[in-house]
Structure 1
């Protein structure tokens, strides 16, 4: 009669292996959560860009006791906008007649650059609209951008096309 000896794990070794496996699974779950939670969406990035511009406008107001004076109308905030209608770099509805040109916005950018380094880059285009841009009107200075779906706080919705394009705003009163 032949007997085969089997090696058995001690109960403490089994418990150690189970605990080690749970620690590894927990660490992987935490790492996954951390990577997902720290990445921002295009909407969050667009709102963050608006907040950066808001801070520069407020820095200008602090230094000059007023916001930069510009005629009523729209202005691109930043550079690097897509080439659109007229063969120019445009913001807002960059490939339509309702665009604002990056070139015509230079005086506003120059005024703001006198108090701080300007944010770089533009927001992701949504259904033909790209920001950030500023609209000077009687209400004050509206900092606007396009977002895909609902606006991220502190920006608030001022318009949507019913198809996913939301125009989000931070209002600066004079």
Structure 2
């Protein structure tokens, strides 16, 4: 058995602590980046699924009350959590432009729909300055609309696109 009597180089305890902290910080940063990259964007299928959820709420209201909620012709935000835009209000549709609908003005519709159950979660991801979901009441019925990045997914159908990636997709509820 041999014994090595040469002195060994040792790290100072403060250096060891600094290395451990640096390693933990690097591992944490890498873990955060992996988690961030794994978070799905609000995909077209999610935006369409949200429209389907709103369609179900409107149809529950119709089943319970014999008709869709009675609202004046115009546009309404579906849900909450919309960004503050033009007018300093939380808006849907073209939230920073002149063609927006306010979340506050949509409260009577949300109250009516809430009477038949829980409402779907709020705003979808904005696409090129437009955010949904929103509804338009007009002579055709109630148009449930969402913004999607690229082509619309069934059962929603395309009603408009800007030629640069913004597609407005619709589910129509006839009265």
1:55 has 2:56 as partner: yes
Give the match for residue 107 of structure 1: 108
Aligned Cα root-mean-square deviation (Å): 1.3
TM-score, normalised by the number of residues in structure 1: 0.77
**C-alpha displacement at 1:41, in angstroms?**
5.5
Contact 2:78 2:122 in 1 (8 A): no
1:73 has 2:74 as partner: yes
Classify the secondary structure of the residue corresponding to 2:171: strand
Contact 1:131 1:146 in 2 (8 A): yes
Give the match for residue 148 of structure 1: 149
Aligned residue runs from structure 1 range 93-172, under 5 A: 93-172=94-173
Give the match for residue 84 of structure 1: 85
Number of corresponding residues = 137
Contact 1:42 1:123 in 2 (8 A): no
For structure 1, the 5+ residue unaligned runs are: 1-35
The runs of 4+ residues in structure 1 deviating greater than 4 Å are none
Q: Cα distance 1:113–1:128, how it changes in 2: closer, same or farther (>3 A)?
A: same
Contact 1:52 1:119 in 2 (8 A): yes
**C-alpha displacement at 1:50, in angstroms?**
0.4
**C-alpha displacement at 1:120, in angstroms?**
1.3
**C-alpha displacement at 1:40, in angstroms?**
7.9
Contact 1:84 1:90 in 2 (8 A): yes
Contact 2:42 2:125 in 1 (8 A): no
- The more displaced of 84-93 and 116-125 is 116-125
For structure 2, the 5+ residue unaligned runs are: 1-37
Cα distance in structure 1, aligned partners of 2:60 and 2:107? 18
TM-score, normalised by the number of residues in structure 2: 0.76
Cα distance in structure 2, aligned partners of 1:48 and 1:40? 14
**C-alpha displacement at 1:121, in angstroms?**
2.2
Cα distance in structure 2, aligned partners of 1:120 and 1:40? 15
Cα distance in structure 2, aligned partners of 1:121 and 1:70? 20
Q: Cα distance 1:140–1:51, how it changes in 2: closer, same or farther (>3 A)?
A: same
